[in-house]
Every structure is written in structure tokens, then in C-alpha cells.
């Protein structure tokens, strides 16, 4: 007899605490919140602020990768963007991925 018999445990065993059973799920949620959800919310807030402060003369990049200069800010959520000489398109503000500052005049180094 090398193998000992296995017996069932007594019926009076205490049930584990439900809070301890939920602890891993709570820890995973906290982990996801601080590493994924919160940074995404902050990045979205920063992007919305950048888009709302767009002005005439700003150089912008659209989600399609086109770079142009804003010629007019229209009512609502649209702007007119000049992509090349005499090429002006109407773009929705939410499709702007980057707003660059106005091009600065070259400094006179004398």
C-alpha cells in the first residue's frame, strides 16, 4: 500500500469569504483603470482642448495625413483648410490630429 486513501473533508468546513474571492477582480480593474482608462481620458481631454483652441493661421494635420493652414473657422465644428495654393477644403475639427503653432517669421540675424 503505497497510496493512502483520500477521505472527504468534514461537512462543517467554513465557506471562504466572498470579499476575498472578488479581490483579484477588483485588483485587475484598478490596474486597468490606472494604466489604460485614465491615461486615455486625459489624452482625449487634451485633444479636445487643442481642437477647440484652433485659430486662423494655425498649421494643422488631418487624420488623412494632409498638412494645411486654417483660413477660416466656420460655425459649429468645421474649418476651412488651405492645402496648397488655391486649394481650400472644408474639414471637420474632430478629424484634426495635430495643431501646430502659427509659422513664425524668420528672425533677422545681423
Residues 39-59 pLDDT 10s: 999 999 999 999 989 999 999
**C-alpha cell recorded at residue 13:** 468546513
Pick the CATH number of 19-100 from 2.60.40, 2.30.30, 1.20.1430, 1.10.3470: 2.30.30
What ranges do the domains of the chain cover? 19-100
**Average model confidence (pLDDT) across the chain:** 86
- E strand intervals along the chain: 59-62, 67-73, 78-84, 87-92, 96-100
For residue 14, what pLDDT band results from cuts at 50, 70 and 90? low
Amino acid at each position: 500500500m503505497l497510496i493512502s486513501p483520500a477521505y472527504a473533508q468534514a461537512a462543517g468546513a467554513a465557506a471562504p469569504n466572498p470579499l476575498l474571492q472578488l479581490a483579484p477582480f477588483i485588483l485587475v480593474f484598478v490596474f486597468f483603470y490606472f494604466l489604460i482608462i485614465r491615461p486615455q481620458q486625459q489624452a482625449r481631454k487634451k485633444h479636445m482642448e487643442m481642437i477647440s483652441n484652433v485659430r486662423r493661421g494655425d498649421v494643422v494635420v488631418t487624420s488623412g495625413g494632409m498638412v494645411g493652414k486654417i483660413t477660416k473657422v466656420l460655425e459649429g465644428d468645421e474649418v476651412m483648410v488651405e492645402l496648397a495654393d488655391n486649394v481650400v477644403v472644408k474639414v471637420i475639427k474632430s478629424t484634426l490630429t495635430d495643431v501646430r503653432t502659427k509659422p513664425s517669421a524668420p528672425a533677422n540675424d545681423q
